[in-house]
Structure formats: C-alpha cells, structure tokens
C-alpha cells in the first residue's frame, strides 16, 4: 500500500487572501472582520490560517471551543479570540488564557460573575449572544431588558460585543425572515447602548450575511466559509476561490471484464470491460460512505470519474474507463478546479461538512506562503 501521505490537502494562502479582499470590498470601509477558524479552520490548518488572517487585517478570531482558542495562545497569537461555546468548567482557562466567552444564558453569566469576583477581576471582556430567530443559542429578545439591567450594574464584566446569528442569510427566498432578524438585532443593540455602554462591537453577519446582506454589517462581521472559498448560493460563490484542495495519486489500476465486481459487498458490477483506479483515501480520511456507488465524482486529467462501489476505510475506487491515465497520476478529489459542490453532485451534504471532515491523518501542505 502506498503511504497515506500520497493523499494531501493543499492549502493555498493566495486564495485565502483573495477571498478576504472580496469580503472586505463588499463591506463598508470601517467594518472589522472576525476570522472564524473553528474546527481546524474549516478543516484546513488553524494556526496557519489564523496567522494569515491576522496579517490580512482581521481584528478578531473566533473558535467553537476553548481548547481551540488555547492552541492559538500557545502559538503566540494575542489578538482577541471569541469562544462560541464556552463551558462552565472552562472558566479558569478563559481567565488564564485571556479568551473571550460568548455569553448566551443567565446561568453561565452568573457562574462567570462568581469566578470573576473570586479572582478579583474587573472589566473582563465578554460578547453577549442574542437569539433573533435561529433558536439555537442566545438570550431571547424578551430577556434583553433584564439582561441589560443586570449588566449595567456589573463591574466585573465588560460588554465588548453584542451579537446574533442569521439562520438563512444565503437564501433569497428567506429575505423577509432575515430582515426580521436584522430588525430584532437592532432593537437589542439599541437597548445595550442605552443601558450598558456605547462602545461595544455589534456583529451579526456570517459569510452569507456579508455577501448577501452587507447593509447589516454593523461594526464587525464573522467570516467563515467564504474565506475558505465557498458561498451558500451561486451568486455568493461567483468571486471566491477555493482554498483547500484534497489530492491523491492512483495507487493501482486494473482492467476488469464484464461481470466482475468491485469492493465490499460487490456493490459495483461491471457491465462492460472497465478500467478501475484505486485511490488511497477512504472514509477514515473524511470521504463518507454516502459518496460510494456513483454519488460523487473526482477529477483526473481534467475529466470526471465516478466513485464506484462502497467507499472503504482507507481506499476508494473510481471508474476511469474513459480516461488515459497511469498509476501514480494525480487525482483531485475536490478543490480549486473541482469544488466540493461538483464532487457532491447529488447535493447530499454541504461544503461545510465535506471540508471539515477531512481527517487529521491527511497531510496538510501550505502553498503560496508569500
Ligand atoms: C460558524 C459560525 C460563523 C461562521 O459562519 P459561516 O457561514 O461559515 O461564515 C459565524 N458565527 C457563528 C456564531 C458561527 O458558529
């Protein structure tokens, strides 16, 4: 078997810079950009991406969990990092590593407050999350009055940000709902300005918000998927460049006669003489079994080849009958010239899931560092 290093994820920093500038140019000039680098920077490389985003001008980073934020601190990044999902047991680490929690309920706020009193901390920066319609995390609009009263009398925390999240910013057919969320958010922001402080950063937009509703940019935006080159509709996708390309090489080629089968459970049966290439990556590398049996296509010498049979743990097979090729030839699973959307031709998932699932055993190779 060839080594797994034959399979690699190529990360193009020029493409990241390009996308950053596309987003920037879509926004009012003074809008700050928070680079969302959760889940290994959407499956790429957290530290490389975080550092590049800072050098491009991002003023904040955001991750999901505290461990992700601590990695940046250990690697010397000292810009503000928002933790979307802090846990109660993280409180000492939030203080120690100077990470900013998203605070989305009273229970967490009370516990945070107690920890700050215990450690004699004042003005600890927090971002308050408001639920404007997503119904995932956040204080409800009906909590805002009580919340702002509590916070106005609290010297231990400092409200550095107030934010919310859009549910369907990339769906034009949901624009009315998005507008309702924007209006709710404005109401919450005004209440904080009146009752808490006037200098916090208000932020609402994710990538689709930036690209499809830039009028709702407020003070800062949280850019995720678009930085990595994917939009949530063709219009958003138009000007972006895919950052990460998952590549491998043909491990073995064989020609099989009609009636032969390929792979576990004999799911592919050749109707005619067929040329089959085995590729050294499988579901343990992040290519789900849902993509077996002609549900996805890879790119080989500029031509599309379907995945046939069941995807194995470490390998998958593609039908290359119509393609001139040899063992060792490079194959693009998905990436710049063949996006995750093209790979997932039956739209069984979304680029977010495809790219964040590329497992850590796949070697990351960074290109265009300067
Ligand atoms: C992941 C995430 C983002 C980034 O969303 P994209 O659609 O990838 O731009 C922004 N805000 C929150 C709260 C998130 O969880």
DSSP per-residue string spanning 75-119:
TT--S-EEESS--GGGHHHHHHTT-EEEE-SHHHHHHHHHHHHHT
Nearest to 227 by CA among 72, 48, 9: 48
Catalytic positions, written as ranges: 38, 264
- Predicted TM-score (pTM) of the model is 0.96
Residue 226 CA, closest ligand 1 atom number = 9
Among 224, 240, 351, the mutation site with the greatest number of ligand 1 atoms within 8 A of its Cβ is: 224
Among 32, 60, 84, the mutation site with the greatest number of ligand 1 atoms within 8 A of its Cβ is: 84
Confidence of residue 56 (pLDDT cuts 50, 70, 90): very high
What residue segments make up the domains of the chain, in order of their start? 31-237, 244-367
Residues with CB under 6 A from ligand 1: 36, 38, 84, 165, 206-208, 222-226
CATH 3.50.50.60 describes domain 244-367:
no
Tokens of 220: 């800062």
Q: Report how far residue 57's alpha carbon sits from residue 37's, in angstroms, rounded to the nearest whole number.
A: 15
Q: Report how far residue 37's alpha carbon sits from residue 75's, in angstroms, rounded to the nearest whole number.
A: 14
Q: Ligand 1: distance of its center to the CA of 206 in Å? A: 5
Residue 227 CA, closest ligand 1 atom number = 9
Is the pLDDT reported for residue 370 higher than 80? Answer: no
* Residue nearest atom 15 of ligand 1, based on CA coordinates: 84
Average pLDDT of the chain, as a whole number: 96
Does the annotation place 70 within a ligand binding site?
no
DSSP per-residue string spanning 135-191:
-SSSEEGGGHHHHHHHHHT-SSEEEEEEEE--SSTT-GGGHHHHHHHHHHHHHHHHH
Paired residues of 279 in beta bridges: 316
pLDDT at 2: 43
Q: What percentage of the chain's residues is helix, strand, coil (to nearest 5)?
A: 35, 25, 40
Paired residues of 140 in beta bridges: 131
Each residue's pLDDT tens digit, 113-154:
999 999 999 999 999 999 999 999 999 999 999 999 999 999
CATH 3.40.50.980 describes domain 31-237:
no
Residue 129 CA, closest ligand 1 atom number = 13
- Quick one: how far is CA 208 from the chain centroid? 12
Q: For residue 193, what are the CA distances in angstroms to 102, 125, 159? A: 18, 16, 10
Nearest to 358 by CA among 289, 281, 282, 286: 286
Tokens of 344: 């997932």
pLDDT at 187: 98
Query: Same fold for the domain at 31-237 and the one at 244-367?
Result: no
Is the pLDDT reported for residue 1 higher than 60? Answer: no
Q: Which residue has the tokens 């605070």?
A: 103
């Amino acid at each position: 078997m060839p080594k797994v290093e034959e399979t690699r994820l190529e990360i193009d920093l020029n493409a990241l810079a390009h996308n950053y500038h596309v987003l920037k140019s879509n926004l009012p000039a003074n809008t700050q950009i928070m680079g969302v680098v959760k889940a290994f920077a959407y499956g790429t490389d957290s530290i490389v991406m975080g550092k590049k985003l800072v050098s491009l001008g991002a003023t904040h980073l955001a991750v999901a969990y505290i461990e992700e934020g601590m990695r940046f601190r250990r690697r010397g990044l000292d810009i503000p990092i928002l933790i979307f999902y802090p846990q109660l047991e993280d409180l000492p680490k939030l203080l120690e590593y100077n990470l900013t929690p998203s605070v989305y309920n009273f229970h967490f706020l009370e516990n945070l407050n107690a920890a700050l009193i215990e450690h004699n901390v004042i003005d600890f920066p927090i971002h308050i999350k408001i639920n404007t319609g997503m119904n995932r995390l956040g204080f409800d609009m009906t909590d805002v009055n009580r919340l702002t009263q509590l916070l106005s009398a609290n010297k231990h925390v400092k409200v550095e940000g107030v934010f919310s999240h859009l549910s369907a910013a990339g769906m034009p057919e949901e624009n009315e709902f998005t507008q309702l969320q924007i209006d709710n958010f404005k109401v919450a922001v005004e209440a904080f300005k009146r009752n808490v402080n006037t200098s916090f950063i208000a932020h609402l937009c994710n990538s689709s918000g930036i690209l499809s509703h830039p009028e709702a940019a407020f003070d800062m935006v949280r850019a995720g998927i678009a930085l990595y080159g994917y939009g949530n509709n063709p219009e958003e996708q138009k000007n972006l460049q895919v950052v990460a390309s998952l590549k491998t090489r043909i491990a073995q080629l064989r020609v099989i006669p009609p009636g032969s089968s390929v792979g576990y459970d004999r799911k592919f049966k050749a109707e005619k003489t067929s040329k089959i290439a085995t590729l050294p990556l499988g579901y343990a590398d992040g290519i789900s079994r849902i993509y077996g049996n002609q549900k996805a296509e890879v790119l080989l010498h500029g031509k599309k080849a379907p995945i046939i049979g069941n995807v194995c743990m470490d390998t998958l097979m593609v039908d290359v009958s119509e393609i001139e090729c040899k063992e060792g030839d490079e194959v693009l699973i998905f990436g710049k010239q063949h996006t995750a959307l093209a790979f997932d031709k039956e739209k069984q998932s979304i680029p977010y899931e495809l790219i964040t699932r590329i497992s850590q055993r796949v070697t990351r190779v960074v290109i265009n560092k300067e």
